[in-house]
């Protein structure tokens, strides 16, 4: 497929309606970016982006109910009652990325080619200009040779790579994502420019890095995220964006599988399903403590050191606080050592320690960790057995404070206590008691226990 070639496509009705609405009003309108790349590759795009010569005001006027939220002129048009949204962007030629984050100003472009010229990679800088919308007929606009690059398997920056990465350092990471996703080699000049500009990725905002990392981590098979992080390492980006992960290189492992702690980490990430990017992130961070605890010999306490480090990374990436804490907890608990000899009470205490809400993810993480360590599931005393026992306990055993058959108010009323730390301490102790013996979990028996403790003064 090259510049000017005819390309027939199956347009979704909403996209056709947007293109028709604009061209009927005398504007130029084209499909652009990722959707054209996907079409040229013979895939069905998941989002359809339209670019046009019409100003945002003219677009909004043309489509009642269109929303226009930002100063950069992307108008979201909803067509039909089911409200399929199509993003329409006015031709731009951006200038001045002073903070390497957002353009300082946006200049409307004169032409479609102007708009394509400001895009990151040739494969993302193609457009489809309709000729006969009803028939889905049109032609490819590909001034930078994205079509031929796709055929030769090359990811290449549009124009001068150094200037492109200087304008926006996020493109450094996007290059890695697109190259691994489509199995492309980096063009030599593009790769050299990435190496030169890698340090500038440190200036990217946490949010932008987070969004990009989560997209990388969502890489579906056959691309494993390990290939993404290996390429980042090779290009000098891993040490800038995730230095805590990069230092795992060379940290030795005593495992059935060959390789160092970084190889192990990436194998664990690969072993988690692609639709769980946050859990993959937890896997990426699960052994961070190993680089620091190596000095002490056996990675002693690496899960506690690791929890702290993982939380710091998650916070730097501006993950919502709840997610950061959750990742920290997964790291802290990932080393549990189950054996068949555990009593039911020990299983319940484990569940309480970890937190019932975390169990599924913790098992999924440990399964991946085991797979990446060459640890096979034993016939007895394995993960599946522990999971079964936990599921059985979830069927009705008291496991958490809210399951205890008496609450603080009742306890105070019955025992004539005032609010204070004593009440909390009693409730904690009652929970411990019912974890040991669920049969104690009735109000009467709990009151009896508490009365006994108070009488003994213990
Ligand atoms: P995906 O299928 O992953 O969404 P995409 O190519 O659609 O891939 P988006 O991030 O949705 O990627 O961006 C849409 C288009 O906008 C890109 O194809 C590219 O042309 C352009 N683009 C996005 N981000 C940048 C950037 N940082 N610098 C230059 N062009 C960009
Ligand atoms: Mg997209």
Residue pLDDT, tens place only, 392-450:
999 889 999 899 999 999 999 999 999 999 999 999 999 999 999 999 999 999 999 99
Mean pLDDT of 77-105: 69
From the CA of 38, give the closest atom in ligand 1.
2
Handedness of CA 177, 178, 181, 186 (dihedral sign): negative
- Proximal ligand: closest to the CA of 31: 1
Number of H helices, E strands in the chain: 23, 12
Measure 289 CA to ligand 1 centroid, in angstroms: 35
Q: Could you tell me the fold of the domain covering 246-394?
A: Hypothetical protein af1432 (1.10.3210)
Could you report the per-residue pLDDT of 20-71, keeping only the tens digit for each?
Answer: 999 999 999 999 999 999 999 999 998 899 999 998 889 988 988 888 776 6
**Do you know the residue count of the chain?**
458
DSSP strand pairing (67-68 vs 74-79): antiparallel
From the CA of 181, give the closest atom in ligand 1.
3
- Proximal ligand: closest to the CA of 101: 1
- Average pLDDT of the chain is 91
Measure 245 CA to ligand 1 centroid, in angstroms: 27
| H-helix or E-strand spanning residue 283 | helix 277-284
- Proximal ligand: closest to the CA of 36: 1
Q: Which residues contact 176 (CB under 8 A, 6 or more apart)?
A: 216, 228, 231, 232, 235, 237
Distance of alpha carbon 420 from its chain centroid, rounded? 43
Write the DSSP string, 8-63.
E----HHHHHHHHHHHHTT--EEEETHHHHHHHTT---SS-EEEESS-HHHHHHHS
For position 145, what pLDDT does the model report?
Answer: 97
Distance of alpha carbon 118 from its chain centroid, rounded? 27
Atom 10 of ligand 1: nearest residue by CA position: 34
- Kindly state the percentage of the chain with pLDDT values over 70: 94
Atom 1 of ligand 1: nearest residue by CA position: 34
For position 441, what pLDDT does the model report?
Answer: 95
Atom 15 of ligand 1: nearest residue by CA position: 33
Atom 27 of ligand 1: nearest residue by CA position: 171
User: In angstroms, rounded to a whole number, what is the distance separating the alpha carbons of residues 237 and 176?
Assistant: 9
- CA end-to-end span of the chain: 82
Measure 410 CA to ligand 2 centroid, in angstroms: 56
Atom 5 of ligand 1: nearest residue by CA position: 34
User: In angstroms, rounded to a whole number, what is the distance separating the alpha carbons of residues 96 and 406?
Assistant: 64
| C-alpha separations of 338 from 43, 341, 382, 385, 386 in Å | 46, 8, 7, 9, 7
| H-helix or E-strand spanning residue 214 | helix 206-217
**pTM for this entry:** 0.90
User: In angstroms, rounded to a whole number, what is the distance separating the alpha carbons of residues 200 and 11?
Assistant: 40
What is the domain partition of the chain in residue ranges? Answer: 6-153, 246-394, 401-456
User: In angstroms, rounded to a whole number, what is the distance separating the alpha carbons of residues 98 and 105?
Assistant: 10
The answer, yes or no, to whether residue 377 has pLDDT greater than 60, is yes
In contact, 34 and 40? CB cutoff 8 Å: no
For position 253, what pLDDT does the model report?
Answer: 83
Measure 252 CA to ligand 2 centroid, in angstroms: 40
Measure 211 CA to ligand 1 centroid, in angstroms: 13
Could you report the per-residue pLDDT of 230-270, keeping only the tens digit for each?
Answer: 999 999 999 999 999 999 999 988 777 788 999 999 999 99
- Homologous superfamily of 6-153: Beta Polymerase, domain 2 (3.30.460.10)
From the CA of 168, give the closest atom in ligand 1.
27
C-beta atoms surrounding 152 within 10 Å = 11
The answer, yes or no, to whether residue 97 has pLDDT greater than 60, is no
C-beta atoms surrounding 133 within 10 Å = 17
Three-class DSSP category at 127: strand
Mean pLDDT of 155-184: 97
Q: Which residues contact 337 (CB under 8 A, 6 or more apart)?
A: none
For position 99, what pLDDT does the model report?
Answer: 44
For position 96, what pLDDT does the model report?
Answer: 45
Could you report the per-residue pLDDT of 306-349, keeping only the tens digit for each?
Answer: 899 999 999 999 999 999 999 999 999 998 999 999 999 999 99
The answer, yes or no, to whether residue 164 has pLDDT greater than 80, is yes
The answer, yes or no, to whether residue 376 has pLDDT greater than 50, is yes
In contact, 120 and 172? CB cutoff 8 Å: no
The preferred substitution site among 30, 33, 109, 155 for testing ligand 1, maximizing ligand atoms within 8 Å of CB, is 33
Measure 422 CA to ligand 1 centroid, in angstroms: 58
User: In angstroms, rounded to a whole number, what is the distance separating the alpha carbons of residues 105 and 108?
Assistant: 10
The preferred substitution site among 32, 38, 94, 120 for testing ligand 1, maximizing ligand atoms within 8 Å of CB, is 120
Question: Using a 6 Å CB cutoff, which residues line ligand 1?
Answer: 33-34, 119-120, 124-125, 168, 170-171
Q: What are phi and psi of 364, to 5 degrees?
A: -65, -40
Write the DSSP string, 288-299.
THHHHHGGGSS-
The preferred substitution site among 94, 113, 119 for testing ligand 1, maximizing ligand atoms within 8 Å of CB, is 119
Look up residue 4 and give its two tokens.
């000017």
Atom 4 of ligand 1: nearest residue by CA position: 34
Candidates 434, 427, 421; CA nearest to 453 is 427
C-beta atoms surrounding 205 within 10 Å = 15
In contact, 181 and 223? CB cutoff 8 Å: yes
Atom 28 of ligand 1: nearest residue by CA position: 120
User: In angstroms, rounded to a whole number, what is the distance separating the alpha carbons of residues 226 and 245?
Assistant: 12
The answer, yes or no, to whether residue 458 has pLDDT greater than 90, is no
């Amino acid at each position: 497929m090259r510049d000017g070639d005819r390309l027939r496509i199956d347009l979704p009705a909403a996209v056709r309606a947007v293109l028709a609405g604009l061209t009927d009003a005398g504007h130029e309108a084209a499909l652009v970016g990722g959707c054209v790349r996907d079409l040229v590759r013979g895939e069905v795009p998941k989002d359809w982006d339209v670019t046009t010569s019409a100003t945002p005001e003219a677009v909004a006027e043309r489509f009642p109910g269109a929303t226009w939220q930002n100063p950069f002129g992307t108008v979201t048009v909803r067509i039909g009652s089911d409200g399929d949204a199509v993003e329409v962007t006015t031709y731009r030629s951006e200038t001045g990325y002073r903070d390497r984050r957002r353009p300082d100003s946006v200049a409307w472009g004169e032409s479609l080619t102007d708009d394509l010229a400001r895009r990151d990679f040739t494969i993302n800088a193609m457009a489809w200009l309709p000729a006969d919308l009803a028939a889905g007929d049109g032609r490819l606009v590909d001034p930078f040779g994205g079509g031929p690059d796709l055929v030769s398997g090359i990811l290449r920056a549009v124009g001068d790579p150094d200037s492109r990465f200087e304008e926006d350092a996020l493109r450094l990471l996007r290059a890695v994502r697109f190259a691994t996703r489509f199995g492309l080699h980096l063009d030599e000049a593009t790769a050299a420019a990435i190496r030169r500009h890698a340090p500038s990725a440190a200036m990217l905002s946490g949010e932008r890095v987070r969004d990009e990392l989560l997209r990388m981590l969502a890489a579906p098979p056959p691309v494993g995220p390990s290939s993404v992080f290996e390429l980042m390492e090779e290009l000098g980006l891993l040490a800038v964006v995730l230095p805590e992960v990069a230092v795992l290189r060379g940290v030795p492992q005593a495992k059935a599988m060959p390789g160092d702690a970084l190889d192990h980490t990436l194998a664990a990430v690969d072993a988690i399903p692609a639709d769980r990017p946050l859990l993959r992130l937890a896997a990426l961070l699960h052994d961070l403590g190993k680089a620091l605890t190596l000095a002490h010999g056996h990675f002693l306490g690496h899960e506690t050191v690791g929890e702290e480090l993982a939380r710091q990374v998650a916070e730097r990436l501006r993950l919502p606080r709840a997610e950061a804490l959750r990742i920290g907890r997964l790291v802290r608990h990932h080393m549990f050592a189950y054996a068949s000899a555990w009593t039911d009470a020990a299983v319940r205490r484990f569940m309480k320690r970890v937190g019932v809400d975390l169990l599924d993810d913790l098992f999924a993480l440990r399964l991946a960790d085991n797979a990446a360590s060459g640890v096979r599931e034993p016939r007895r005393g394995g993960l599946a057995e522990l999971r079964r026992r936990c599921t059985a306990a979830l069927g009705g055993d008291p496991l958490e404070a809210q399951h205890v058959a008496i609450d603080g108010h009742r306890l105070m009323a019955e025992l004539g206590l005032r609010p204070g730390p004593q009440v909390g301490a009693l409730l904690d102790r009652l929970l411990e008691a019912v974890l040991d013996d669920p049969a104690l979990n009735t109000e009467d028996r709990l009151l009896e226990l508490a009365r006994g403790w108070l009488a003994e003064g213990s």
